[in-house]
């Protein structure tokens, strides 16, 4: 997946085989976590228990910035990327 500076690897974070493949391709030890991208701050409760208060605060800041930026920001490009 293209990003602003480098190519990134992406896969379904809920698919064990996809996650294992990313670790394998990156040569990353499984003790080091991968980032999980979610569509909105409301999804944090689904994937992280408990959600740290600092994470909620950061999500609120990010949502405010996104509302100021509008469409065309990086999150829109990721959301519309057609994964092979």
Torsional class of 50: left (φ above 0), alpha (ψ -120 to 50), beta (otherwise) = beta
Please give the pLDDT value at position 42: 82
The pTM (predicted TM-score) of the whole model is 0.58
- Each as own residue / partner, the long-range contacts of residues 4-8 (CB below 8 Å, 24 or more positions apart, any chain) are 4/74
Task: Print the SS3 string covering the chain.
Answer: CECCCCECCCCCCCCHHHHHHHHHHHCCCCCCCCCCCCCCHHHHHHHCCCCCHHHHHHHHHHHHHHHHHCCCCHHHHHHCCCCC
pLDDT one digit per residue (tens) for the chain, 84 residues: 666 777 778 899 889 999 999 999 999 999 998 888 887 788 888 888 888 889 888 888 888 877 665 555 555 554 554 544
Residue with the two structure tokens 């605060």? 57
């Amino acid at each position: 997946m293209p990003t602003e500076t480098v190519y990134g690897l992406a896969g379904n974070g809920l698919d064990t085989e996809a996650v294992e493949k990313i670790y394998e391709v990156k040569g990353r030890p499984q003790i080091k976590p991968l980032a999980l991208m979610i569509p909105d701050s409301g999804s944090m409760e689904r994937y992280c228990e408990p959600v740290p208060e600092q994470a909620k605060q950061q999500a609120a800041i990010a949502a405010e910035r996104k509302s100021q930026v509008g469409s065309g920001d990086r999150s829109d490009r990721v959301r519309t990327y057609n994964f092979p």
